[in-house]
A and B are shown apart, each in its own frame.
Chain A
């Protein structure tokens, strides 16, 4: 069982909808990440939060808006998405952003844009 919990597991939304993906970890990790993974491709980094501050944005379109309310939670707000945004969205966490500790992944939200 993963120690990084993501909700919902599946999400279908229209291009005009607004929805949010949620991620939670209680391992005391201080770095959290959002990745996007398309079928038969590796995960691609979207955002990095270090100590609840956004430290890396990999040129992600503004229709994706991350938020870190506290050290255990990470949200991804979605608005006006495009069909090509359909993918598996993975949250991950690691102990310390400055260290070389491995990242642990949640089981993802499978997103479909109609």
Chain B
């Protein structure tokens, strides 16, 4: 089993749709969690840190479920510019090592 797993997609959604991604992790000792966005041939850009209480930033909401060992990202009112690959990343707290999931590709269509 991979340490961090994501559905690779692609998720094809119309503009204005709500879409949700999940990411599961295997190390129960993991301490911190992040969502990154990566456009084609670009670097990963931090989208959100994920906190135990959940957090929201505009159209984006991230949740952490420690009992079931997954994090989620919800995007409301999808825009064309949201089309990208979304990577979850888990920090196992051993020297701040990030392990990435394989990424979920989102394509928002007009």
**Chain A interface (Cβ within 8 Å of chain B)?**
2, 31, 33, 41-45, 48, 50, 55-56, 88, 90, 94, 97-108, 110
Contact = CB atoms under 8 A, between A and B. Distances in A.
Given A41-B102, A42-B103, A105 B32 contact: no
Interface string B31-43: 1101000000111
B96 A99 contact: yes
Given A2-B43, A102-B49, A105-B45, A45 B97 contact: yes
Interface of B: 31-32, 34, 41-46, 49, 87, 89, 91, 93, 95-103
B9 to A, nearest CB: 12
11 contacts: A31-B96, A42-B101, A43-B87, A55-B95, A56-B97, A100-B93, A101-B96, A103-B96, A104-B46, A105-B44, A105-B45
Contacts of A41: 102
B98 A103 contact: yes
B45 A48 contact: no
B46 to A, nearest CB: 5
Nearest to B103: A42
Given A100-B32, A102-B49, A105-B43, A43 B93 contact: no
Contact of A90 (B44, B93, B95, B99): B44
Nearest to B33: A100
A27 to B, nearest CB: 13
Nearest to B101: A42
Contact of B96 (A42, A88, A94, A107): A94
Contacts of A90: 43-44
Contact of B42 (A48, A50, A56, A107): A107
